[in-house]
Structure 1
Amino acid sequence: MTRKWIHWFFPLALTGLFVLLVRLSLPAGCVYGSNTDWLSQHTALAETIRTAMLEQKSLMPSFLPLGGGSNGFQFSYYGYLRPDILMGCLLPAVPMYRIVIAYSLGGWLAAVLLFYLWLRRQRLSCFDAFMGSVLFLTASCFFHTHRQLMFVNYMPFLMLALLSVQRHPRRIPPLLPLWLLLICLHSFYYAPACFVVVGWYWAWLSGKYFFRPWFASCALGGFLAFSLLLPTGLSILEHRRSSASGDAGLSTFFEDLQSLLYSSYGLGITLIVLYLLLLGIGIRQYRKTSLIFLLLFLWGGFSYLLNATLYARPKILIPFLPLLILHSAKILADLRAGRTAWKLWPFPLLLTVIFRYQHRSAWALILADFAFLLAAVLLAQVTSEETMDAPKRLPAIPGTVFRRILSRAAFLCLLVMPCLFFLRSASREDFVTREQLADATRTPDFQLKQEPLYRYDTLLHPLAKGNRDVSAAREKTSMYSSVYNHTYSDLYYDILKTPIQINNRLAILTADNPFLLHFMGIRYLESSPSQVPDGYRVLWQKDGLAVSENDSVLPTAYLTSGTMTETLFSSLRDWEQAEALTRCTVIPDDLADSDTMTSSLWFSGIRYYRPMWASKRIPATVQVATSGSDILNRNYELTVTRDSTVTLEFQQPLQNQLLLLQFQVENQTKKAVVITVNGVKNKLSDAAAGYPNGNDCFRYQFLDTSEDGLTTLKIRLSKGHYTLKNIRFGLLDADVFSAKSWSPVEVLDKNSREVLACRADVAYDTWFITSIPMQKGMYALVDGRKTELTTINTAFAGLRLSTGQHEIRLCFNPPGKTAGALISGLAFLVWMILICLQKYQLYKMKHRHR
């Protein structure tokens, strides 16, 4: 009875500690998720993917209404075939963020309990398994259960894979391909590292005989996931997968062991594990493995290769956490049992490592970690039994029972700092408050008209709402994914001059840019009531949210004959390209005809403008130093002691004029520069940004066609020291937005594989134009005949139509989707045959023994 109670006590203690740590991590009034990525990517895309699954009646939707209309496999990393998204389809009334939170926490707890079971099956005692499991539970990498979910959400399936190998080390475990499949579905980016971990553990158990069953299992698991991996891989190859800044080569070294210690973007463990690794070098049976682990976490080359040579970053090493803690737990068990001795020689080495953290915010806590570890080791030395290979360094404390109690206390003391560091990591998280979540997930209590040829976007919380499918019947221009259509992004930011609002250009976010709103067909727009753009009329407003409409924007599909060649378009500079797209359609040179505009016919309506100010209100917190002899090339060096607002008032209001403003920003510090003009934000990322945006040219467009016109520029300056150079103003008549001659098309009903269906009456040969990004797998059926599409306006799908009435159906079939499904199906058959053969062999063996 007592023994059974002990078996239950430690798993219950782990569960209780898990609940306590989660509770202490979460501030009052917050939900278990971060404003960084969790809100804008992981939960938003989970909701959008679920909506698309239900509407398209597919577990892997081909097309998502983001980024103007995108290959769904650009977003597959965020939930295609993941169990929590599938559960969400069965519970459509439950918000996806609730399911994601429950699934993340449940997966973390399951991983911890499976890890405890795994250690017990390594013949470690309950207490030793508990010690190791607490080190596993408190690893700071689990910080990502509320930030970057894919860093850790595969962990329970990795543990199941290791348990399967432990049970069947000499053959292919029957369920191992299933666990490898689930690892791929949860985080295919981390799957290669997980496969390596499984292989390494297999080699521990069975030596050189591991390779064939390991390779076959990994191949089978990978092929089972091919319905996801093949179309996703082809999408990544087609589009751009961003790489980060910083050293990205085999010469990288993590001298401060950031891959191992403290950081939530590494394994995030404390000095106790590093101490055990160093101690293991002096123990013959652990020496080789300890050295391999130290090389793994010191040399960035392993990280570089596992990151597919994108960069050397330690986050890819997180899957090695179970093996590392297993190795450490075994050494700890030997120390507790007296099979090896505590040593003091690793402490000078530990001291040299932690002094690299001297100027970091956690320095005091790191010193406490060192002191606590030293005290625990000294206490363990005086309370432990005589070891087999070393004499006592300190006199033993008399009394067997008292010594045993103190020995247990010394070991438990080793768990204090891991818990404190875990809580410290959580305390630095920017958790989402319930109010922020309500704002991000809020949808207007307003029924819009069905307008399939127009888009619905938002200026309110553009990052948090950028991936949320607000209206299933309308596409959005915005998106935020690590895989994006680079031609669409270049047009968005470089040609239409849309301001960059955050640290990176991965996020394609809607802004108050008249060129963008008009060209991309954003007829309906969310904003605050005070920030409704010119040309939009408010349809509905409530509690700081307004929905407005502009029925003068271009539709997402129309007919036009006004064209210019790509060569002429590429010769234009700065704002002229945005103007040209507003007035004309850009087509390939080889498709030009006699009606196509030539360079001799092009003229720009943009005029240089030198504003005269009626007043300038510059607060004392802004110090301005000017340099440069002439007004055109004058530089303004700004020293801003705190966020401040400068107000400039025009002598003459600008009426029916589009004001264009741009200037270069030269940052004199390492901090970010943010300048917001009349509510339009531009940002130059700080030097430490993981994906720096390189936005050193800030561009703004302002339009006010009201009777009062544009009278004032309110410039919000962030704290910092920076210089503004090459300041240029321009004017363009507002009637540029009615300059393009176009004809409408009639919308038809479409099926799930069609992106657009319409009918066009063509009076003479003309162009069918869309603002749907061109991508592989897209084709058109014109009157039932498959027709090749042409890339027009640098990034979008279009085609030439002859005179007459035509039915046009724009279709999309993601490359690799059909082939991937067939390969997965064949892999499933092979797996079933393999299981049947194994069962048949076991059956024969049993009867043979009889």
Structure 2
Amino acid sequence: MTRKWIYPVLLTGLFALLIHLSLPAGCVYGSTTDWLSQHTALAETIRTAMREQHTLLPAYLPLGGGSNGFQFSYYGYLRPDILIGCLLPAVPMYKIVIAYALGGCLLSVLLFYLLLRRHRLSGFDSFMGSVLFLTASCFFHTHRQLMFVNYMPFLLLALLSVKKSPRRMPALLPLWMLLICLHSFYYAPACFVVIGWYWAWLSGRYFFKPWFVSCALGGFLAFALLLPTGLSLLEHRRASASGDAGLTTFFEDFQSLLYSSYGLGVTLIVLYLVVLGVAIRKYRAVSLIFLLLFLWGGISYLLNATLYARAKILMPFLPLLLLHCALILSDLKNGRVSFRLWPFPLLFAVIFRYLHKSYWTLVQADFLFLLAVVLLAMAVSEDRAEASEGAAPVAGSGLRYLLSRFAFLCLLIMPCLFFLRSASKEKFVTQADMDAAIEKPALTLYTDSLYRYDSLVHPLVNGNRDASSVRSKSSMYSSVYSNEYSRVYYDYLKTPVQINNRLAILTANNPFLLNFMGIRYLETSPSQVPAGYRVLWENDTMAVSENESVLPMAYLTSDTMTDTLFNRIKGWEQAEALTRTTVIPDEAADSSTISGKSSSEKEEGWRTKIRYYQPLWSSKEIPATVQLAASGDAKNRSYDLKVTRDSTVILNFQTPVQEQLLLLRFDVANHTGKAVTITINGVKNKLSAPGAAYPNGNGTFQYQFLSASVDGVADSGQGITKLKIKLPKGHYTLKNIRFGLLDASVFQEKAWTAVEALDCDTTKNEILACKASADTDCWFVTSIPMQKGMKLYVDGVATELYTVNTAFAGAKLPAGEHEIRLCLTPPGMKAGIAISGLAGLVWLAILAGRGYRKIRR
């Protein structure tokens, strides 16, 4: 092995060792949170859609009732690992994602080593800088939020291209910028800024024109992705996080720089070098810029498109930061500048803000270890300086040289320990969990595309996983979603909120939801099959059941009420109204389509069938771990709960609830900093902790329990005999408790006529194809969310679409036999493809022109 390969091989070995030590035995390299529920699940779903729709840019995905695919483009549209997955359909997508993430991380480390070498650093100095790069805790996201770091190899290739050709646009730079956009368009602006800063660093004022042209070409090459995605972002909601968000935010503890995996995650050695650089003339300006960047949150706020001041957006600055530090460290090692002790009081003032962190001991060790190494390096440096002044070498100078090298290598110990500490905080997916997540039931279902297939087994994990190639899902988990659809799901149908945020639209055992969204097939545990469903298949952990009585995704009806009347009713009555009738726009209403269940606006209005009542209990089982203090009268009683550990309370009904939908609602006031999760009869509601990144604001818990015999499918026959309430440890108050009853027959009350799915090949952008027979003029109603770019064709003629049930696509339909096709072409997709093609031609012309001029010379 030649000397030039020694350090790259050492870096590869250290990378493999750290990954091995990070991953617990029996686990898959990925987290149980975002990696499993979003990144791998969506990668699999996107791959399936690409193959089925025969396109690299699927117009829609079968999630969230049927959604514009560009709501999910952040998770992999045109990303190389998913394109590779299309060529290897037999390989589980999660394995390809893991290999690609780890390969990209290692490639980033080696490219950063090459960048340092191009700056004329020695192999040893470049090795030290590369270890600091490798151990940055932001690479924690190779197994969590992939897009936080998966652009890094292409950012480094861009920097290397600029280094090679700083006076004009490098030939391949637009390609690297395109790949940055495809991997993480959210981080692309910050990456482009980093490239521009580096270019200015190298060539001064000559950088702007070639940088601007490169950014324009790279961005326009990615317009097939960026334009429809941007228009989708403008149409749909993009949730913001809690906390400070603005130009006045400051990171006083340098959390943007130190330790955190949601910042750059480096250790004190980096901050020491940046602070020391302020005292060195040639490094002063850059050091001051970095200090401003990591101290003032306003820059993060602007780079985050003013959503919030979060340090995660600064991760692309890691290569420039560590290049700056490596240059200073090289000068220190070679005696061109000297170590100083004056930064340590400032460092101590910073780390003192970590006093109450769980890793305070490790932070102290980082400070003390850095101080000891600097003192050793200073001592060795002084001896070396004395030796250089005399004619004869000082005895033991070889030992001092080894001590110097040892001192610098010791600087790498704490970064490795913090890297392992970050990984130790991850909850990795076990192989058993992964096998369960991708398990497919061993049965063949009736392939009617007018119904949905959802899962109550780990709803977060399965929310984005396409269980069937011919059915859609009501669930989805993306930061971009339809606010109207979410409002129907949670506010009108009263679906329980099960996790810390409402970004995830998750299936729950809510009879209103299951019926309204056409969830005919349902995965549950064998003991939690909802009333009205019959088991088709089961094993020890899963059951697949069917309810033939739910509404289809599309049907005909004249049973309607107006938007104005719907907006006048509140609470459970909104869920009841959506179950019993269809809500249509006021301007489209007429006497032939107004249901008899609602009288005219000038009369009494909506006629509800919900009966409010106060249950009587035969017994109450309350453990000693639950301290309960009641207040208020019988109708407005509040309960202050102090629960010393997770406990279960059982309330037994004096008279079982049979053939009824039991409704329960109460408000929760949380008196601690922890989340409150209350599960009743298997149905979970959660109020997130006040400091959660995306607080769900779920202060009112809603539950619906069905005990019924629906179309011959019966429960155990005993009805609802008790409420089994699982309470978490904590202090909280339950108030405004209300019960209601609604006859189970409500789910058969809506008058509707079935449509028939067309048995033919669909086009790439066709969501629904069916034929319908209407005896009279009526409404064609779907539970597919209304979106821009939708077009409805009735017998081949474009027909006006209306928003029905406040969020879904529908239309007026005349009497007769009709063939109906609902299509979705995402806004901007065709224009984006055309712009990308044009940018590609311009780029090729530039390359051809350069080649021609080179040949002439």
Length-normalised TM-score, structure 1: 0.97
Within the candidate set 318, 329, 335, 2:332 is matched to 335
Within the candidate set 772, 777, 788, 2:800 is matched to 788
Q: Is the 8 A contact 1:338 1:386 kept in 2?
A: no
Within the candidate set 688, 693, 699, 2:691 is matched to 688
Within the candidate set 565, 569, 584, 2:566 is matched to 569
How far apart in 1 are the matches of 2:395 and 2:339?
Answer: 19
The answer to whether structure 1 residue 607 and structure 2 residue 617 are counterparts is: no
Within the candidate set 134, 140, 151, 1:154 is matched to 151
Q: Is the 8 A contact 1:141 1:263 kept in 2?
A: yes
State the match for 1:458 in structure 2. Answer: 455
State the match for 2:712 in structure 1. Answer: none
State the match for 1:124 in structure 2. Answer: 121
State the match for 2:220 in structure 1. Answer: 223
Within the candidate set 733, 744, 755, 1:723 is matched to 733
State the match for 2:647 in structure 1. Answer: 644
How far apart in 1 are the matches of 2:484 and 2:89?
Answer: 35
Q: Deviations over 1:89-118 (max 9, x none)?
A: 000000000000000000000000000011
How far apart in 2 are the matches of 1:746 and 1:134?
Answer: 62
State the match for 1:266 in structure 2. Answer: 263
Length-normalised TM-score, structure 2: 0.97
State the match for 1:746 in structure 2. Answer: 756
- Report the 3-state secondary structure (helix = DSSP H, G, I; strand = E; otherwise coil) of the residue aligned with 1:215: helix
- Report the 3-state secondary structure (helix = DSSP H, G, I; strand = E; otherwise coil) of the residue aligned with 1:647: strand
The answer to whether structure 1 residue 656 and structure 2 residue 659 are counterparts is: yes
Q: Is the 8 A contact 1:481 1:507 kept in 2?
A: yes
Q: Is the 8 A contact 2:39 2:146 kept in 1?
A: yes
> What is the one-letter code of the residue matched to 2:611?
R
Q: Is the 8 A contact 1:520 1:771 kept in 2?
A: yes
- Report the 3-state secondary structure (helix = DSSP H, G, I; strand = E; otherwise coil) of the residue aligned with 2:652: strand
**Structure 1 segment 231-250 matched on structure 2, within 5 A:** 231-250=228-247
> What is the one-letter code of the residue matched to 2:110?
L
How far apart in 2 are the matches of 1:63 and 1:108?
Answer: 31
The answer to whether structure 1 residue 818 and structure 2 residue 827 are counterparts is: no
> What is the one-letter code of the residue matched to 2:687?
L
> What is the one-letter code of the residue matched to 2:127?
F
- How far did 1:751 drift? 2.5
- How far did 1:387 drift? 9.0
Q: Is the 8 A contact 1:675 1:715 kept in 2?
A: yes
The answer to whether structure 1 residue 736 and structure 2 residue 739 are counterparts is: no
The answer to whether structure 1 residue 25 and structure 2 residue 37 are counterparts is: no
How far apart in 2 are the matches of 1:362 and 1:450?
Answer: 54
State the match for 1:674 in structure 2. Answer: 677
State the match for 1:372 in structure 2. Answer: 369
**Structure 1 segment 380-529 matched on structure 2, within 5 A:** 380-384=377-381, 399-529=396-526
State the match for 1:322 in structure 2. Answer: 319
- How far did 1:332 drift? 0.4
> What is the one-letter code of the residue matched to 1:773?
P
Q: Deviations over 1:33-58 (max 9, x none)?
A: 00110000000000000000000000
State the match for 2:76 in structure 1. Answer: 79
- How far did 1:438 drift? 1.3
Q: Deviations over 1:774-797 (max 9, x none)?
A: 000001011111112100000000
How far apart in 2 are the matches of 1:450 and 1:367?
Answer: 62
Q: Is the 8 A contact 2:625 2:645 kept in 1?
A: yes
- Report the 3-state secondary structure (helix = DSSP H, G, I; strand = E; otherwise coil) of the residue aligned with 1:652: strand
How far apart in 1 are the matches of 2:318 and 2:699?
Answer: 40
> What is the one-letter code of the residue matched to 1:132?
G
- How far did 1:843 drift? 2.8
Q: Is the 8 A contact 1:671 1:685 kept in 2?
A: yes
Q: 1:819 to 1:386 in 2, by over 3 A?
A: farther
> What is the one-letter code of the residue matched to 1:507?
A
How far apart in 1 are the matches of 2:626 and 2:813?
Answer: 58
- How far did 1:397 drift? 8.6
The answer to whether structure 1 residue 257 and structure 2 residue 254 are counterparts is: yes
How far apart in 2 are the matches of 1:263 and 1:397?
Answer: 45
- How far did 1:377 drift? 0.5
- How far did 1:700 drift? 0.1
The answer to whether structure 1 residue 292 and structure 2 residue 302 are counterparts is: no
The answer to whether structure 1 residue 828 and structure 2 residue 844 are counterparts is: no
Q: Is the 8 A contact 1:499 1:681 kept in 2?
A: yes
- Report the 3-state secondary structure (helix = DSSP H, G, I; strand = E; otherwise coil) of the residue aligned with 2:426: coil
Q: Is the 8 A contact 1:661 1:699 kept in 2?
A: yes
- Report the 3-state secondary structure (helix = DSSP H, G, I; strand = E; otherwise coil) of the residue aligned with 2:839: helix
Within the candidate set 81, 85, 92, 1:88 is matched to 85
Within the candidate set 620, 624, 629, 2:624 is matched to 620
How far apart in 2 are the matches of 1:659 and 1:114?
Answer: 62
Give the superposed CA RMSD.
1.3
State the match for 2:711 in structure 1. Answer: none
- Report the 3-state secondary structure (helix = DSSP H, G, I; strand = E; otherwise coil) of the residue aligned with 1:631: coil
Q: Is the 8 A contact 2:780 2:811 kept in 1?
A: yes
Within the candidate set 540, 543, 548, 1:543 is matched to 540
State the match for 1:560 in structure 2. Answer: 557
How far apart in 2 are the matches of 1:644 and 1:385?
Answer: 65
- How far did 1:703 drift? 0.6
- How far did 1:807 drift? 1.0
Q: Is the 8 A contact 2:569 2:606 kept in 1?
A: no
Q: Is the 8 A contact 2:448 2:757 kept in 1?
A: no
How far apart in 2 are the matches of 1:695 and 1:602?
Answer: 27
- How far did 1:398 drift? 5.1
How far apart in 1 are the matches of 2:360 and 2:678?
Answer: 34
> What is the one-letter code of the residue matched to 1:778?
M
State the match for 1:778 in structure 2. Answer: 790
Q: 1:388 to 1:168 in 2, by over 3 A?
A: farther
Q: Which moved more, 1:825-834 or 1:782-791?
A: 782-791
How far apart in 1 are the matches of 2:541 and 2:425?
Answer: 30
Q: Which moved more, 1:799-808 or 1:522-531?
A: 799-808
**Structure 1 segment 696-711 matched on structure 2, within 5 A:** 696-705=699-708, 706=715, 707-711=717-721
How far apart in 2 are the matches of 1:267 and 1:352?
Answer: 20
Identity %: 70
Q: Deviations over 1:724-783 (max 9, x none)?
A: 000000000111001100011121123222111111111111000000000000010111
- How far did 1:435 drift? 1.2
How far apart in 1 are the matches of 2:786 and 2:232?
Answer: 13
How far apart in 2 are the matches of 1:471 and 1:569?
Answer: 34
Q: 1:387 to 1:286 in 2, by over 3 A?
A: farther
- Report the 3-state secondary structure (helix = DSSP H, G, I; strand = E; otherwise coil) of the residue aligned with 2:523: strand
For structure 1, the 5+ residue unaligned runs are none
Q: Is the 8 A contact 2:258 2:265 kept in 1?
A: yes
Q: Is the 8 A contact 2:384 2:400 kept in 1?
A: no
> What is the one-letter code of the residue matched to 1:24?
L
- Report the 3-state secondary structure (helix = DSSP H, G, I; strand = E; otherwise coil) of the residue aligned with 1:632: coil
Q: Is the 8 A contact 2:526 2:540 kept in 1?
A: no
Q: Deviations over 1:647-669 (max 9, x none)?
A: 01101111111000000000010
For structure 2, the 5+ residue unaligned runs are 709-714
Within the candidate set 779, 788, 799, 1:767 is matched to 779
Moved over 6 A (4+): 386-389
How far apart in 1 are the matches of 2:478 and 2:765?
Answer: 23
- How far did 1:441 drift? 1.2
Q: Deviations over 1:528-550 (max 9, x none)?
A: 01000000000000121000000
Q: Is the 8 A contact 1:397 1:403 kept in 2?
A: no
Q: Is the 8 A contact 1:459 1:510 kept in 2?
A: yes
How far apart in 1 are the matches of 2:722 and 2:637?
Answer: 21
Q: Is the 8 A contact 1:383 1:397 kept in 2?
A: no
How far apart in 1 are the matches of 2:384 and 2:817?
Answer: 93
